[in-house]
């Protein structure tokens, strides 16, 4: 199913490891990833299972200083990136069920590594079909956030395994006019739906014709208080918007997940930058997740790039990673394989970094609240000298 | 004078070039730097002179698509990073004059490469002495932005060579109570002072005790209309603040310079991220400049890091670079040598990238103007669910 070009790189870090001399490698890695990321050892059984079930497993940890008044607040997050399982021409139910089966097996293995919070990729229970601009059958994939099949499927798992799952889906608002949204559902570790959030910023670029299907979200910037810390979700294209990241921070988020679907040739030079910058600027952890593989559709479509009509989306390049508030980040998952990235965080690092750097104290929010209010005035005169 | 640890890396890119096989190198570089940065050939004479005058020369260019209605708007920028020349114990005048001489020789060579705009490093005409918390002699380095010796020195050069220079200095406001500011002066290519801007965000971290010397700037977010495009300057620590970058963009900047002084062990994992993210998010070019070397002071000082008193600032790691709105960036200058980074830009790329990605169109400024106004209310209740 994948359309990966053999000449492309599959794993950036592997190339470094295979070519940079041992004496230099840690220094190069430190420049690339910062000083505060270490490998995390997981049970051999988990390694074995990842091979059996054919997905890549990487695991790291970020540490924090010991404090007198607060105990460490250790959380393990799991980021899952995956191909769709069946061709996009299969029935909706078969496609969904195949993805349920695949995700269930990965989550079960993740749970053995004592993961607390799992985030799935954007619109994880379907192909990313918005390239087609066809309304059907893709709108049929949409489900009620609170009572849909996908939510029910995950509720059972969350309760059974005592984990929080962030489930990005296409939402059908059955109560309000059947409108469709791009939504994440947060399911708590007791199996109850804690809440949902709708994507704030919608792309109109290349094959990402999402504005044909849903509008800008109307749920603000909620932070979800879970048993494992305060989390928020910046969905996909929202990662290009520093203000979106900012508001999740101002509402108290300690981890912000960024479930995405994005392709090489489009966003790859931006991928390692944006979520990491957000972690630095806002004093929280960020978890960037991208799907993998090339999805093929029955009917041809064009991409607004002057090229002939075609049936394939570009290559979703995976490369999921986690960034810490101190600017460190993990290496990424593979560019082509399904994968599980396990990362152990000490949430105490967030406040420690804020105290150290002082970005929040020095950010002059009052000035910018006023500046932005001025700018949105249609008569705003930019401050230009000369 | 330098205190560089021999075991540290001097040039990241050189290591890649020397170790990654030729078949993989361009792919690795593309992942690291994006697709739109090419080497720029300069005259052999300039290469030779850079060797004679002992500074590193690197030169690149970013291209843009041809348009029907606008001609390409090609601009060459020059970023200069340098050591202080004399020990910090020398007289103020001797220290300044030695820096004038050094900068003059580098600028003269830059002009041979037909550079239009040059930006010097933060507080370029003095050591970065704010680690000491001593008021004298360091406050004596401060000068009037409009009529000080440093400005006069550069005005002559700008007029003679037909270049714009951004000159970051310690400013003495002789008219308003002799207050000190961290300021950049923009000197136009006719030798006239176009205007100035004062650093908006002041650090209180490690050896960066700048809040002892000057307060947060009161000059807003000016954009300077020069013959070579609309430019702005985000001074040093302001690069950690996405809102600072944002406002320069909303005022129309096409290139934003970030003259800095920052040391390894502190900011290095952040360095390649922040200015590049700003270029992406705001649709302009960014030019990040950092000084090089380790500066030694007469009297010992402490760094708030529990370590014993000492006489040396950490190692300023250079690594100056330019990032483009499409997410591409140049490799950096050396971590230890004086250097000149010449980069040719086509300013048309800014609007082209805005049209392509749509970040400005989709950024929902009205929503955030309201959100920030709410947040700064002392009674603001964060949006927390659960």
What pLDDT digit, counting tens, does each position of B212-238 carry? 999 999 999 999 999 999 999 999 999
Whether B1 is covered by a domain: the verdict is no
Write out chain B residues lying below 8 Å of A7, CB-based.
Answer: 27
Compare all CA atoms of chain A with the CA of B18 and give the residue at the minimum distance: A20
- Nearest-CA distance from B312 to chain A in Å? 21
Contact list, A365 vs chain B (CB under 8 Å): 243, 372, 375-376
Question: Does residue B2 belong to any structural domain of this protein?
Answer: no
How many angstroms separate the CA atoms of B296 and B313, rounded?
Answer: 6
CA-closest candidate to residue B219, choices B167, B182, B269, B253: B182
Distance from CA of B86 to the nearest CA of A (A): 30
Contacts of A384 in chain B (CB under 8 A): 222-225, 230, 251-252
pLDDT in tens, B54-70: 999 999 999 999 999 99
Q: Do B368 and A243 touch (CB under 8 A)?
A: yes
Residue B380 falls inside a structural domain: no
The residue length of chain B stands at: 386
Looking at per-residue confidence, does A8 or B279 come out higher?
Answer: B279
pLDDT grade, residue B249 (50/70/90)?
very high
Nearest to A15 among B20, B270, B364 (CB): B20
Q: Which residue has the tokens 């002699």?
A: B137
Specify the number of domains making up chain A: 1
**The predicted structure's pLDDT at residue A5:** 65
Considering the candidates A58, A199, A210, A230, report the single residue annotated as catalytic: A199
SS3 A328: coil
The two beta strands, A56-61 and A74-81, are unpaired
The span from the CA of A165 to the CA of A188, in Å, is: 7
Mean pLDDT for chain B overall: 96
pLDDT tens for each residue of A193-223: 999 999 999 999 999 999 999 999 999 999 9
Catalytic residue among A56, A58, A122, A350: A122
Instruction: Record the tokens describing residue B334, joined without a space.
Output: 């050396």
Beta-carbon pairs below 8 A across chains A and B: 238
- CATH code for the domain of B17: 3.60.110.10
pLDDT in tens, B130-169: 999 999 999 999 999 999 999 999 999 999 999 999 999 9
Instruction: Tell me the chain B residues in contact with residue A202 when contact means C-beta distances shorter than 8 Å.
Output: 362
Residue B2: the pLDDT is 42
List Cβ neighbours of B231 (8 Å cut-off, separation of 6 or more): B117, B164, B166, B186, B223, B224, B253, B254, B255, B256, B257
Beta carbons of B19 and A15 less than 8 Å apart:
no
Alpha-carbon distances, residue B51 vs B165, B296, B337, B339 (angstroms): 23, 26, 12, 11
Q: Which residues of A touch B20 (CB under 8 A)?
A: 15, 19-20
B16-30 pLDDT per residue, tens: 999 999 999 999 999
Residues of B in contact with A15 (CB under 8 A): 20, 24, 28
Q: Do B385 and A240 touch (CB under 8 A)?
A: no
Tell me which residues of chain A have a pLDDT lower than 50: 1-2
Taking an 8 Å cut-off on Cβ atoms, the answer to whether A242 and B246 are in contact is: yes
User: Residue B309: which pLDDT band, with cuts at 50, 70 and 90?
Assistant: very high
Give per-residue pLDDT as tens, B28-60.
Answer: 999 999 999 999 999 999 999 999 999 999 999
Instruction: State which residue of chain A sits closest to B242, comparing Cα positions.
Output: A242
Tell how many helices (H) and how many strands (E) occur in chain A. 9, 16
Within 10 angstroms of residue B96's Cβ, the number of other Cβ atoms is 20
Residue in chain B closest to A18 (alpha carbons) equals B20
Q: Is residue B7 part of a domain?
A: no
Which of B203, B198, B174 minimizes the C-alpha distance to B186?
A: B198
Yes or no, beta carbons of A31 and B12 under 8 Å apart: yes
CB contact under 8 A, A364 and B201: yes
Place of tokens 């690291």: B32
User: Could you tell me which chain A residue has the CA closest to the CA of B276?
Assistant: A273
User: Is B300 a domain residue?
Assistant: yes
From chain A, the residues in CB contact with B358 under 8 A are 203-205
Q: Which domain holds residue A269?
A: 36-375
Is residue A360 assigned to a domain? yes
Q: Chain B: residue nearest A268 by CA?
A: B31
Cβ separation of B224 and A358 shorter than 8 Å? no
ipTM higher than 0.85? yes
User: In this structure, is residue B210 part of a structural domain?
Assistant: yes
By C-alpha distance, the chain A residue nearest B357 is A205
Would the CB atoms of B225 and A21 count as touching at under 8 Å?
A: no
H or E element: which one contains A51?
Answer: helix A44-52
Q: Give the C-alpha distances (Å, rounded to integers) separating B314 from B129, B229, B264, B302, B303.
A: 12, 36, 7, 12, 10
Please name the member of A194, A223, A372 whose beta carbon is closest to the beta carbon of B383.
A223
> Would the CB atoms of B19 and A20 count as touching at under 8 Å?
yes
Map tokens 């799991």 to a residue: A78
pLDDT at B1 over 50: no
In a domain, B322, yes or no: yes
């Amino acid at each position: 199913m994948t359309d990966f070009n053999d000449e492309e790189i599959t794993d950036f870090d592997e190339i470094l490891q295979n070519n940079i001399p041992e004496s230099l490698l840690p220094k190069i890695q430190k420049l690339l990833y910062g000083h505060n990321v270490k490998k995390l050892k997981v049970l051999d059984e988990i390694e074995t299972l990842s091979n059996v079930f054919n997905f890549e497993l990487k695991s790291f940890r970020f540490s924090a200083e010991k404090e007198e008044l607060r105990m460490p607040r250790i959380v393990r997050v799991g980021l899952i990136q995956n191909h769709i399982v069946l061709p996009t021409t299969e029935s909706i139910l078969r496609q969904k069920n195949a993805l349920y089966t695949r995700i269930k097996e990965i989550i079960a293995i993740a749970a053995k590594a004592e993961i607390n919070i799992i985030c799935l990729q954007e619109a994880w229970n379907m192909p990313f079909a918005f390239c087609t601009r066809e309304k059907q059958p893709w709108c049929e994939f949409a489900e009620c956030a609170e009572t849909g099949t996908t939510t029910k499927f995950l509720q059972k798992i969350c309760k059974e395994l005592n984990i929080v799952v962030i489930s990005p889906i296409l939402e059908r608002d059955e109560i309000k006019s059947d409108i469709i949204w791009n939504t994440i559902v947060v399911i708590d570790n007791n199996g109850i739906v804690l809440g949902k959030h709708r994507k704030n910023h919608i792309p109109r670029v290349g094959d990402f014709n999402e504005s044909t299907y849903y509008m800008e979200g109307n749920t603000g910037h909620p932070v979800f208080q879970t048993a494992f810390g305060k989390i928020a979700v910046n969905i996909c294209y929202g990662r290009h918007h520093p203000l979106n990241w900012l508001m999740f921070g101002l509402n108290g988020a300690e981890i912000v997940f960024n479930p995405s679907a994005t392709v090489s040739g489009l966003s790859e030079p931006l991928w390692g930058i944006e979520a990491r910058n957000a972690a630095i600027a806002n004093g929280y952890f960020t978890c960037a997740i991208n799907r993998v593989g090339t999805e093929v559709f029955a009917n041809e479509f064009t991409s607004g790039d002057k090229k002939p009509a075609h049936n394939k989306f570009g290559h979703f390049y995976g490369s999921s990673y986690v960034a810490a508030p101190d600017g460190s980040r993990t290496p990424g998952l593979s560019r082509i394989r399904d994968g599980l990235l396990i990362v152990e965080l000490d949430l105490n690092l967030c406040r420690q970094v804020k105290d150290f750097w002082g970005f929040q104290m020095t950010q002059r929010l009052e000035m910018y609240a006023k500046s932005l209010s001025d700018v949105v005035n249609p008569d705003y005169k930019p401050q230009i000298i000369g």
